[in-house]
Structure 1
Amino acid sequence: MLKKMIGAMLLSQVLTGTALGGSDTATDARIDSLMGQGTHQQYHQFLTDLQQAVAKGDKHAVAAMVSYPITVTVNQKKRKINTPRAFIQIYDRVFTPSYRKSIVDQQYADVFARDMGIMVGEHGELWYSGICHSQDCSKFTIKVIAINN
């Protein structure tokens, strides 16, 4: 049932202006056309940095890449995390071995992208996007905006 729902959602998203990758060049073009701020290089570098931090188990680096507050699931309960410090304390319960693998194994060419963000993992395990800090979005940072563990 879940696979059917995800498949229907992905088909719907593709038909409404979202993108699935296939090659780095195609993904670059899609991200440039979909994201309202920044360049594909910035989003690609963010993914690379995130994957390296997760692979090394660098909790502090990953925590710095998250937009707060963020909701995560710990022991099958949703928890709102407000600070990097609180995130670091629950990191190992959120970033389980299989969850870390889904992030580290993600190929840039195969990310799912839409105007609201870029999905990492086959089932939307993590999303990241540009966060505007000015009205015209000339100042922004790329951050993790959703953790679906």
Structure 2
Amino acid sequence: MRFALLAIAAALLLSIAGCGQDRAAPAEPASTSPATAPSAAQADAPAATAVPAAGVPDDAAPAGRTEGPAEPDDHAAVNARIDNVLGDHAPYERAVLAFRAAVQAGDRAAVAAMVAYPFTAHLDRGEVRIADAAAFVARYDDIVTPAIARAIGDQRYADLFVNQRGVMFGNGEAWINGVCADGNCANPDVRVVAIQPAQ
């Protein structure tokens, strides 16, 4: 009887120890243009952040989940990181949520209104300079491909990657950052600064 109870307890401990290990490791983000599309590997991580061999900090969880129950999309840790690295998280949080919602809805005009211009679009066949929102809307399907839209739309806030170059969606498919409107960048305008295919 005692042996049977010990065997059951051991089996339960083994099954508990295996929980949470079904998440796929994040791929290294793409970086087709270092000036506008930084990768996590280029980040100057703070000394307190351990960076695994793949070049992605431990706090950069994968954008997609493989299976299992849905976790709450807690904003607190990401907001604290934004506060620490980029400044007040409030405009970044608003921009991230609005951008994700606009992409999910396929609202081309709303997405275009969030972009910093002039904008360099990173297309599969090369880079294209986009002067304004009207030009962005005209090239929307080339810029926001189904794969990019999926990466942005599926992004959980709690899994966003943040460094001094902005807030990253997915594996680098989109970046949001503050654009300086004045000389000292006291009140940056938070905009979409990169949209690109992941590699």
Q: TM exceeds 0.5?
A: yes
Check the 8 A contact 1:21/1:27 in 2, yes or no.
Answer: no
Check the 8 A contact 1:21/1:109 in 2, yes or no.
Answer: no
Check the 8 A contact 1:59/1:88 in 2, yes or no.
Answer: yes
Report runs of 4+ in structure 1 exceeding 3 Å deviation: 9-13, 18-23
Q: Using the alignment, how far apart are the partners of 1:12 and 1:109 within structure 2? A: 21
Displacement after TM superposition at 1:77 (Å): 2.3
Displacement after TM superposition at 1:132 (Å): 1.5
Q: Name 2:70's counterpart in structure 1.
A: none
3-state SS of paired residue (2:182): coil
* TM superposition score normalised by structure 2: 0.63
Query: CA offsets per residue over residues 74-131 of structure 1, 9 Å max, x none?
Result: 451211111111110010122122211100111111111011211111x200101111
Q: Using the alignment, how far apart are the partners of 1:12 and 1:4 within structure 2? A: 16
3-state SS of paired residue (2:122): strand
Check the 8 A contact 1:27/1:109 in 2, yes or no.
Answer: yes
- Alignment map for 1:1-149 (pairs within 5 Å): 6=28, 10=40, 13=43, 16-17=45-46, 20=59, 23-35=74-86, 37=87, 39-74=88-123, 76-121=125-170, 123-149=171-197
Which AA in structure 1 matches 2:190?
Answer: I
Q: Which has the higher strand share?
A: 1
Check the 8 A contact 1:28/1:40 in 2, yes or no.
Answer: yes
3-state SS of paired residue (2:139): helix
Displacement after TM superposition at 1:45 (Å): 1.4
Check the 8 A contact 2:148/2:196 in 1, yes or no.
Answer: no
Shift in alpha-carbon separation, 1:118–1:134, aligned structure 2, 3 A = same
Number of residue pairs aligned between Structure 1 and Structure 2: 142
Displacement after TM superposition at 1:49 (Å): 0.4
Over alpha carbons, which structure has the higher Rg? 2
Q: Using the alignment, how far apart are the partners of 2:105 and 2:140 within structure 1? A: 13
Which AA in structure 2 matches 1:6?
Answer: E
Over the aligned positions, Cα root-mean-square deviation in angstroms equals 2.6
Check the 8 A contact 2:45/2:163 in 1, yes or no.
Answer: no
Q: Which has the higher helix share?
A: 1
Q: Using the alignment, how far apart are the partners of 1:111 and 1:60 within structure 2? A: 24
Q: Using the alignment, how far apart are the partners of 1:93 and 1:12 within structure 2? A: 27
Shift in alpha-carbon separation, 1:92–1:6, aligned structure 2, 3 A = same
Unaligned runs of 5+ in 1: none
Unaligned runs of 5+ in 2: 1-24, 30-38, 50-56, 62-73
> In percent, how many aligned pairs have the same letter?
33
Moved more, 111-120 or 137-146: 137-146
Shift in alpha-carbon separation, 1:136–1:73, aligned structure 2, 3 A = closer
